[in-house]
Amino acid sequence: MAKIRDLSVYDGVNVDYSAYDGFVIRCFNGSVKDTLFETHKAGAKKAQKPWWAYMFFNFLYPVLPQIQVVINIIKSEKGNLPLAFDV
């Protein structure tokens, strides 16, 4: 069984990245970039674990601007799997 962990700003910075097989990391919370996205991404990469980004979709705002922000966040590094949407 693979141990995949969901990470966001709520997980803080004390994550044992080596204890997991991969990570789904929130990059956007529906309004702003997740402030620990880059930290968690770097931790997963340093531990040589696969990671992929997900965005939290906010129904209170238009779809296209949210997608455009997320594309800008992940355009340089998309992760090991496609972007996931939390709706």
| Cα 81 from Cα 84, distance rounded (Å) | 9
57 SS3 class: coil
68 SS3 class: helix
Does this model's pTM top 0.85? My answer is yes
CB 66 within 8 A of CB 28: yes
pLDDT of the residue at 58: 92
CB 23 within 8 A of CB 7: yes
Domains of the chain: 4-86 (3.20.20.80)
pLDDT of the residue at 17: 98
pLDDT of the residue at 86: 85
Mind listing the pLDDT tens digit of every residue in the chain (87 residues)? 999 999 999 999 999 999 999 999 999 998 999 999 999 999 999 999 999 999 999 999 999 999 999 999 999 898 999 888 887
Strands 51-56 and 84-86: parallel
- Here the tokens at position 68 are 């455009």
